[in-house]
Amino acid sequence: MFEPIKVSMESLNLITLAPMLIAIAGGLVILILDLINSKLHKSLYVMLTILILIVDFGATIGLNVNERGFFNVMLIDGISIISQLLIIVASILFTPLALTSKRFHEYSYPEFFALFLFMVAGFQFMVASDNLILIFVGLETASLSLYTLIALHNRSNSYEAAVKYFTMGALAAGFFAMGSAVVYALTGSIELYQVAQVLAARLHETEIVLAILGSSVLLMVALAFKLSLFPFHTWAPDVYEGASAPLAGYMSIVPKIATLVVAVRVFGMYIDLGVEWVRDMVLILTVITMTIANLMALVQEDVKRMLAYSSISHAGFIMAAIALDTTEGTASIFLYYALFMFTNLGAFAMLWISRHKVRHFSARFDHPYEKFAGLIHIMPMGAVIMALFMLSLAGVPPFSVFWGKIYVMQAAVNAGYVWLAIVMGLNSAVAAYYYLKLVVYMFLKEPVKDVDTVYYNLSKPLMAVIGLATVATVTAIFYVQPLISYLYYMISASGY
């Protein structure tokens, strides 16, 4: 009884789908290759993955700003492009870390790379839509892949990590679904641009204030879990510890970028509508998060766990920018992550190359501080690079994270939140302590044990990644300008 539906190819704007399709197709190619010949070496898959990601990158960067595609499900605005680019760059940096000199379980699976590419596609979908369904499905695709990748490291800690992450993720998914249901109930739509319109009309209805606030809370719980905001952060240290170092580094960046994009879209909408309560909620959560995580990081005995807490703190730090709801604030998020990415991945890569299969230094930890004691005497170059990363994370100029930090703080000041900037500053000072602790161990202490080389896992590709990260960290001052102007252009173009 229905008329045939006529849809023109132009109106579908399929190009908006191209980046994700490339990643998915790449994943399928890897699976098929494995079916054809199961003896192929992992280096092939690594390079293939990188190539696919490069093509993906090319496809993404070629997208036009502010296009919608496929019945308005796809949304290619400025932040979707830049976040996709960041995701792809981080993934490209991550991939070569598979080429360690020692063998680790997950890389023996070609499926690892396929799952990885599906995960990237999932994140890309997540950021490239304002439809809660697609966001949810993308999120779950990525998350399910991620759980698997964690578990594939194949040792007791990684199962534990996967289970914790998975279970809490399932609960968060419940909250996301419920939040979407409330939004849907309020507006009859789950596409944020429609939601915003309807909500704007309904804001005056006092009876449904609770529902509006409640919807934001439920969505917040789900996103805060992903962003590891207090008190939804509890999984993060354990999962980082259980996962392999590169994956932990990856987790501290890519899922957060993707979730931040969603958060910008969702909470930006609420704040734009004038629901100040949401802004307050975000501010309170972020301030608590950066502070508590910092304090807990102070007392860690393991570098990786410390970095986990530090990542939580950084996430809180940057999430605060959402509450500002200014173009600068939003730009600062991406600037920060663009700069933080290299440093943090570099730091985790440094941990990765120092990873032993047997724990020489501590019964529980892979990377206790003692392991790095006196590193300056053993491997001066390694110590210096690690120290650079630590100083950068601590926000010492002129290293990369500093520029992100002042840009965020400037955004806070500009938006009238001077107190927030001061809190950020003081938190950075506290944070400096635990980063310094590692520097102190490396430079100021004598080696504890005379075990074989600390950088047990070193290989040329890893050196290349670390070298790249180092260069990016040190020379940030020279590329911040183009980065800022690009980000600012993209974000203001998409109206945030």
Site for another protein in 182-241 (CB under 8 A): 182, 184-190, 194, 198, 201-202, 205-211, 213-214, 216-218, 220-221, 224-225, 230-232, 234-235, 237-238, 241
The one-letter amino acid at 98: A
Query: Residue 315, interface with another protein (CB under 8 A)?
Result: no
351 C-beta neighbours (distance < 10 Å), count:
24
Q: Which lies closer to another protein via its Cβ, residue 54 or residue 185?
A: 185
Q: Sign of dihedral through CA atoms 254, 317, 232, 81?
A: negative
**Does residue 231 have a cis peptide bond before it, meaning omega lies within 30 degrees of 0?**
yes
**Binders in 266-295 for another protein, by CB under 8 A:** 277, 281, 292, 294-295
Phi, psi for 97 (deg, rounded to 5): -65, -10
Query: Residue 65, interface with another protein (CB under 8 A)?
Result: no
What tokens does 134 get? Answer: 């697609």
DSSP 8-class letter at 131 = B
Say if CB 345 and CB 250 are below 8 A apart. yes
**Binders in 349-378 for another protein, by CB under 8 A:** 353, 357-358, 364, 376
**By CB under 8 A, which span of 77-85, 111-119, 245-253, 315-323 interacts with another protein?**
111-119
From 488, 490, 494, 496, residue interacting with another protein (rule: CB under 8 A): 488
Query: Residue 391, interface with another protein (CB under 8 A)?
Result: yes
Say if CB 465 and CB 344 are below 8 A apart. no
Q: Which lies closer to another protein via its Cβ, residue 83 or residue 427?
A: 427
Question: Site size for another protein, by CB under 8 A?
Answer: 171
Q: Which lies closer to another protein via its Cβ, residue 88 or residue 431?
A: 431
Q: Sign of dihedral through CA atoms 13, 491, 321, 428?
A: positive
Query: Residue 153, interface with another protein (CB under 8 A)?
Result: yes
Q: Which lies closer to another protein via its Cβ, residue 256 or residue 305?
A: 305
**Binders in 406-445 for another protein, by CB under 8 A:** 406-407, 409-410, 413-414, 418, 421-422, 425-426, 428-430, 432-433, 436, 439-440, 443-445
From 58, 108, 274, 495, residue interacting with another protein (rule: CB under 8 A): 108
Q: Which lies closer to another protein via its Cβ, residue 160 or residue 272?
A: 160
What tokens does 271 get? Answer: 């704040």
Say if CB 49 and CB 99 are below 8 A apart. no
455 C-beta neighbours (distance < 10 Å), count:
20
Closest CB 460 distance from another protein, rounded Å:
6
Query: Residue 43, interface with another protein (CB under 8 A)?
Result: yes
Distance CA 488, CA 331 (A): 6
Q: Which of 480, 316, 332 is nearest to 410 (CA)?
A: 332
